[in-house]
Structures are given as C-alpha cells and as structure tokens.
Structure 1
Amino acid sequence: MKKILFVCLGNICRSPTAEAVLRGKLKNLQMENRYQVDSCGTAAYHAGEAPDKRSQQAAVKRGYNMSDLRARQLSDADYMEFDYLLAMDNANANEMRKRAPKKYRDKIQLLLEFGDSDYLEVPDPYYGGASGFDLVLDLVENACDGLIERLRSNENGA
C-alpha cells in the first residue's frame, strides 16, 4: 500500500483539503484500499483541531467531507513511513527538507507539480475571503487528478 502525506503550515486549510479531495477521488475510482492518505502541518499551532470551518464549507459544496480530520504536526517517523510527502508551498517544502534525514529528501515534492495550472504553490486562504478556499479546491482537485494518473502509471509499471 502506497502512503501519501499532504503538508501545509497548520494543517487546518490546505493539507486537510488535499487529504479529503484525494480520498474522495480514490473512493469514486474504487482505489481507496490501495492507498493511505493523511495530512499534517509543519507547525503544531492547531494540533487536535478540526479543519477551518471555511475549508469544510467549501469542501462540502463539492462533495468532500473533512469533519473527521484533526490537525497534527509532521513527525520524524513520517519521512520513513510515507512514499509521497507533498507540500502545499515552497516554505513548507523547505522546512520539511531541513528536518528530513538526507535519504528521505527525494520524497518531498510540491503538490502542484502534479497539476497543470499556472500556480506553483497552493496559496494559503486563511486570511482571505471565501474565494480563496474555492481556489484551493480548484488547484487541489486538478493536482490530485494528475497525482492519480501518476499513481496508476506506477502501478502499471510505466
């Protein structure tokens, strides 16, 4: 079973959105039993908290449920346990690389490397309006589609 970890700063907006989106897409494709999906933050600001209500509201409108998710901080064990460590932005990717044992640094990528948008990073919607949460979903859905394509091609030995 391949394991995928999404990472942002506080684990209440972007990374739980990505977790919910990928879980939903994998379930719709009947692929959910082949992958473990999780999310966390590089900081512990919100450990134990549910995702931001605005993230949850935007996700529900598109059919994703995040209500059971709780924030946690990135741990040293995550580098060994997960096959993909997907950061939402360069600041978090750089922080992850600083903390990672050298042999695991190649697992760290930006989520949007799998998408085809003009964005390189998923912007943090926390201090903005509702449209920021919709943009996060647009970017994450697109990137998760590309990630699923990559996962499928890896399964098929491509």
Structure 2
Amino acid sequence: MDRHRVLFVCAGNICRSPLAEGIFRHLANEAGRADEFEIDSAGTGGWHQGEPPDRRSIAAAAGHGIDISGQRARRVVSADFGRFDLILAMDQDNLKNLRKTAPAEAFGRLHLFNTLALGSNKDIPDPYYGDREDFEAVYTMLLAGCSALLPKAGKLLRGS
C-alpha cells in the first residue's frame, strides 16, 4: 500500500504545524491507520531550523497525551512539493508564500488547512506572541480540523 504523505506548514515550524503534525499522527495511531500516512511539518521561514517546537506547543500537546518534543523545525524545501500529496498551510499568508515557491504542477496539493479540513476560510491564528490559553485554543482548532481531515484523507489523496 502506498503511504499518503501530508505536510503541515506554518511560518517558523515551532507552534502550529508541529502541533498539527503531532495531533494528526496521534489520531492516525488511535484509528489504527498510522501505516497509511507519512506525516511531517515545516515552515515557510527558516528562523528556527533545528530547534524543537515552542515550549508552549510542547506543553499544550503534552496536556492531551501527545509528545511533540522530539520534532525539529525545518524549512520547506523544493523537494517537498513533489514528495507530499497534501501540503496544508495554517493561514493565508503561508499559503501565499508556498504558492510563490511551488512549481505549477504542485498547486493542486496546496491548501489552507481549515478549507480542506472544515470547509472554512478561517486561518489558524499564530499563538507565538500569546500565552498558554492561545496555544490551548490553537490546539483545540487543530484537533477539530485533524479529526475532520483523517476520515476523508484517504479519499482526498486517492482523488488527487
């Protein structure tokens, strides 16, 4: 069976996208579907390359039984556009940045996370300058989106 490759993208790959990666992986594991997916995250900027997720993202995930502490930030590279079946941006700005660097043949794989997951054009807000409550709110938004995305991921990916 071919694995479906999903990449979650935010700005620096330390807050939202590592949470999305961890949540989606956790849900796939719980559903017995982990073998179906290759799940990763990256940032459109390289400011935090090699760093672990923000301590507040780690704490939000840990509070729900998910360990993302082993993840390391990386920047989106050109090979990602051919490697991943779905590339999900956390907000419109990062989607625009992806479209600036993606080859035309990859445009069909680029989506706003909430549009694909929940049918909404709402951004997942960046909690970086916020507090614990902001990270918890983002966790809740990502959980809702990842929970909606998992059941339809196979169909979406087979159709692409």
1:40 partnered with 2:42: yes
Structure 1 residues 115 and 101, CA gap change in structure 2 (3 angstroms): closer
Give the whole-Å Cα distance in 1 for the aligned partners of 2:116 and 2:105.
22
Alignment length (residue pairs): 157
Give the whole-Å Cα distance in 1 for the aligned partners of 2:134 and 2:119.
15
Give the whole-Å Cα distance in 1 for the aligned partners of 2:24 and 2:98.
21
Structure 1 residues 15 and 34, CA gap change in structure 2 (3 angstroms): same
Map of 2:111 onto structure 1: 109
Contact 1:113/1:143 (<8 A) preserved: no
Give the whole-Å Cα distance in 2 for the aligned partners of 1:19 and 1:12.
11
RMSD: 1.7
Give the whole-Å Cα distance in 2 for the aligned partners of 1:151 and 1:134.
25
Map of 2:5 onto structure 1: 3
Q: Identity rate of aligned residues, in percent? A: 36
Map of 2:54 onto structure 1: 52
Give the whole-Å Cα distance in 1 for the aligned partners of 2:29 and 2:109.
24
Give the whole-Å Cα distance in 2 for the aligned partners of 1:144 and 1:74.
21
Map of 1:140 onto structure 2: 142
**How far apart are 1:155 and its partner, in Å?**
7.7
For 2:128, the aligned partner's letter is Y
Map of 1:128 onto structure 2: 130
For 1:32, the aligned partner's letter is A
Give the whole-Å Cα distance in 1 for the aligned partners of 2:83 and 2:25.
18
Map of 2:74 onto structure 1: 72
Structure 1 residues 99 and 152, CA gap change in structure 2 (3 angstroms): closer
Give the whole-Å Cα distance in 1 for the aligned partners of 2:100 and 2:26.
31
Give the whole-Å Cα distance in 2 for the aligned partners of 1:61 and 1:147.
22
1:82 partnered with 2:84: yes
Structure 1 residues 152 and 107, CA gap change in structure 2 (3 angstroms): closer
- For residues 85-118 of structure 1, the C-alpha deviation after alignment (integer angstroms, 9 at most, x for no partner) is 0000000000000100001111110111244487
Contact 2:23/2:142 (<8 A) preserved: yes
Contact 1:23/1:37 (<8 A) preserved: yes
Map of 2:28 onto structure 1: 26
SS at match of 1:7: strand
Contact 2:86/2:157 (<8 A) preserved: no
Structure 1 residues 155 and 100, CA gap change in structure 2 (3 angstroms): closer
Give the whole-Å Cα distance in 2 for the aligned partners of 1:95 and 1:114.
18
